[in-house]
Structure 1
Amino acid sequence: MRPAALLDRLLPKPLSHVVVEEVAETPAQRRRRRRVVATTAVTGAGLLGTSLSTAPGSREFYLSTAAVAGVWCVGGVTSGPLHLGWIENRDATLRRPLLTPLATGVAAFGVFYAGALAARRVPVLADAVTRVLRFADEGEDARVLATTLANGVGEEIFFRGALYAALGTHRPVARSTVVYALATTTTRNPALVLAAGVMGTLFGLQRRASGGIQAPLITHTVWSALMLRFLPPLFRGRTAPGARRPARRAH
């Protein structure tokens, strides 16, 4: 096989690729999806703000973050059919998204890690990131990882699944990202809102290019796990404004 043909078989089409999704919903089904999506968005955003106002490592933190993940998942699943999607290679062959979104998650982490190195020099961003990372530093590793991944899965099921489908074909990437970022504003943390805007755009492009939630879901969970593992040490010497810094727990 010629090298060019081999590359076409291995490499996916770019994120600018648009999958034309065939929607077979009745007007009643569309109205129902939109009602469920609106209710879920408001409820989930409120709970998200509440979860990050609890004490790191507390029972309330784990319960509230689990509740947020549950709301996203239940709202997404009950809104209507969701699709996993396909990665289309340059030679038009199809495969389920796996390696490409995994590599994308690693690459996105690399970009954010470089950004975190720069953010340490910007007091506003450094303080915002430190406030978030307190939940990783002062919580139990296994529980924090579980709730982080659960919320990553739930967010993709809802925002790139149910919400994206409810928005129709008019600029769904931009509109779903705006809603995603707005939901994050309830945390009152500029670093999280910024991350939601950047990653929401990437996840939306993945949804548009694949026609489903599997690609953004894999990228989101890989990116989240790496951020949780490698970002806290960068900010461990700082103390979030208004917070006492206890000794790190042994896990």
Structure 2
Amino acid sequence: MNPVAELRAFVRAALVDPVPRDHTESDAAFRRRRRVAVVTLVVGAGILAWALRIEPGDPTFYVATFALAAVWAVGAFASGPLHLGRAHRRVGGRESRAVVQSLALGLLLLALFLAGSVVVARVPVLRDPVQQLLDHARFGSLGVVAVITVVNGVAEELYFRGALYAGVGRRHAVAVTTLVYALVTATSGIPLLVLAAALVGLVVGLQRRVTGGILGPVVTHLTWSLGMLLLLPPVLDRLS
């Protein structure tokens, strides 16, 4: 199989063709999930807006971001059952957990964003807000920020591709969760972060539709976000 056909097959398996499953729930459970998801969204958006406006080096940032992760996670589990999901296997047969595909998608997203940083590094109006956000790792503890990145990445997927996705309904779940994720991120006031949320949100939303669970989105999100945390600062510094 040639590389183009191989890539096409990968995209179809990872982002297009859903894996069969039955996650049907009662109308009462569905309405309850929606109520919990809305309350969680309002509280989480407020905490995120506060956290992203804390000055780099201020230990309050750690408190705020862990609090945000707790809100997303508690709201997700309180909304109802969450599923890990399953992915198509490359060789056919019974489906497997969505790990390898998700790592590949995360690395592709990381490569795309690092390539884009070549442009961002040369445009101060785009570069400076991103640098300010990354200053939390420069002026604080990189290890703690990495832990925060992991914890919040998992919590965001539990909520946005878990509780919220299930609460929206099947027909428009990818579009709605991607839009809401981008709008919540817009409270940061950083345009490129909103763009990143929209692109990553779309990819993991499609993964959620295909796999029926949160494992794939979690792996993709963490691969991308940790890679950006560790690789983007030196790339911007070298190109600026």
TM-score (norm 2): 0.90
2:3 aligns with none
1:190 aligns with 191
Alpha carbons 2:56, 2:132 under 8 Å: kept: no
Deviation per CA, 1:21-51, whole angstroms, max 9, x where unpaired? 5233222211111111001111111100100
2:132 aligns with 131
1:173 aligns with 174
- Provide the C-alpha distance between the structure 2 equivalents of 1:180 and 1:46, rounded to a whole number of angstroms: 13
- Provide the C-alpha distance between the structure 2 equivalents of 1:212 and 1:93, rounded to a whole number of angstroms: 16
1:49 aligns with 49
- CA shift, 1:138, in A, is 1.2
Normalized per residue, the structure richer in helix is 2
2:213 aligns with 212
- Provide the C-alpha distance between the structure 2 equivalents of 1:197 and 1:210, rounded to a whole number of angstroms: 20
1:153 aligns with 154
- CA shift, 1:186, in A, is 1.1
Alpha carbons 1:130, 1:238 under 8 Å: kept: no
Letter in 2 for 1:57: G
Alpha carbons 1:136, 1:232 under 8 Å: kept: no
Deviation per CA, 1:77-129, whole angstroms, max 9, x where unpaired? 11000000001136353101111111211121111100111111233221221
Deviation per CA, 1:179-230, whole angstroms, max 9, x where unpaired? 0001111111111111100100001011111110000100111111111111
Identity %: 44
- Between stretches 86-95 and 158-167, larger displacement belongs to 86-95
Letter in 1 for 2:88: E
2:28 aligns with 28
Of structures 1 and 2, the larger Rg is shown by 1
Which SS does the other structure have where 1:13 is aligned?
helix
Letter in 2 for 1:41: L
Alpha carbons 1:87, 1:97 under 8 Å: kept: yes
- Provide the C-alpha distance between the structure 1 equivalents of 2:148 and 2:181, rounded to a whole number of angstroms: 18
Which SS does the other structure have where 2:15 is aligned?
coil
Distance change >3 Å, CA 238–CA 57, structure 1 → 2:
farther
Aligned pair count reads 231
- Provide the C-alpha distance between the structure 2 equivalents of 1:107 and 1:232, rounded to a whole number of angstroms: 19
- Between stretches 32-41 and 116-125, larger displacement belongs to 116-125
Which SS does the other structure have where 1:212 is aligned?
coil
1:246 aligns with none
- CA shift, 1:237, in A, is 7.6
2:17 aligns with 17
TM-score (norm 1): 0.86
- Provide the C-alpha distance between the structure 2 equivalents of 1:226 and 1:138, rounded to a whole number of angstroms: 19
Unpaired runs of 5+ residues, structure 2, are 1-5
Distance change >3 Å, CA 154–CA 201, structure 1 → 2:
same
- Provide the C-alpha distance between the structure 1 equivalents of 2:14 and 2:214, rounded to a whole number of angstroms: 17
1:201 aligns with 202
1:231 aligns with 232
Alpha carbons 2:13, 2:88 under 8 Å: kept: yes
